[in-house]
Amino acid sequence: MSDLPGHIDFATAGCLVDLPPITLGEMDSIKLMNRVDTKYCTREDVLLSILEAAGRHGYRVLEVDGARLTPYNSLYYDTDGLGMYRDHHNKRLVRQKIRTRVYVNSGTTFLEIKRKQNTGRTKKKRIQIDPADFWEIASAGRAGEYGDFIAEYSKYTLQGIHPAMETIFSRITLVNDARTERITMDTGLRFVNHDTGADKDLGSAVIIEIKQDGRSHSEMKDILLDLRVKPLRVSKYCIGTALTNPAVPNHRFKVKIRAIEKTTNQKIC
């Protein structure tokens, strides 16, 4: 078992261990910084079946320093009025998210801006930052550089945003043989709200995201269809905020939360 009680330890699961690896260097051609995303929700036990099927279809798993299950920590920034959250809740087609993200095993840390366009495509810009700056970019020694980056690629300013929501999870990353898609599978999802201090998790839920440059055929979508895993448009930042901040409007995301509860047969809130 994993270090989370009741969770499957995917790091030692045969269906993951048996997949052929792909290195970070080989992944360079599959960055998909301008992409179309499709998200799904399932349970940890179903993920075991998905990984078994992925092996039969020639998928490879990202391996870094011998690890195939990678812990992530992301810190989302927002305005005092949570404008980025509200834009998503109010179904604005054009919206943005700003976050710092650390790859826990390596300590590599980035400042990232994700921009959703009205075409449905997502563009991402990022710069590597000092690991010590993960928690607060505004007071960092490179704050001027970070501020310029935010001003160039978003409608926000460094002074107008603050750390709002921390998301903690472990990720499995798969790549198809043709290298036209990347699949991320996030487990052990936990949210820590920096405004309210509340802490919630999604139990055995797994969030899967298929990232494609264009609309080429996806065998992973076929696998998920066969296993009756349904698409679910879900933002980890927004779900976490809806779960941990009772002061924000959340009726749109309550539907998503109920769908996750139905999928996992677990009560979240």
pLDDT for res 35: 65
End-to-end CA distance of the chain: 25
pLDDT for res 31: 64
Whole-angstrom distance, CA of residue 100 vs CA of residue 218: 30
Which helix (H) or strand (E) is 233 found in, with range? none
Q: Out of 126-140, 218-232, 239-253, 255-269, pick the least confident.
A: 255-269
Q: How confident is the model at residue 151 (pLDDT cuts 50, 70, 90)?
A: very high
Closest C-alpha to 255, from 73, 91, 80: 91
Give 254-263 pLDDT, tens digit per residue: 999 999 999 9
In this structure, what token pair is assigned to residue 208? 């899967």
pTM of the model: 0.91
pLDDT for res 32: 60
Give 14-35 pLDDT, tens digit per residue: 999 999 999 988 887 666 655 6
Q: Strands 121-129 and 162-175: what pairing?
A: unpaired
Average of pLDDT values for 3-24?
85
Go through the chain and tell me how many residues it has: 269
Instruction: Give 132's DSSP letter.
Output: G
Whole-angstrom distance, CA of residue 138 vs CA of residue 136: 6
Give 161-170 pLDDT, tens digit per residue: 999 999 999 9
* 27 C-beta neighbours (distance < 10 Å), count: 17
Whole-angstrom distance, CA of residue 223 vs CA of residue 8: 21
pLDDT reading at 5 higher than 80: no
pLDDT reading at 208 higher than 70: yes
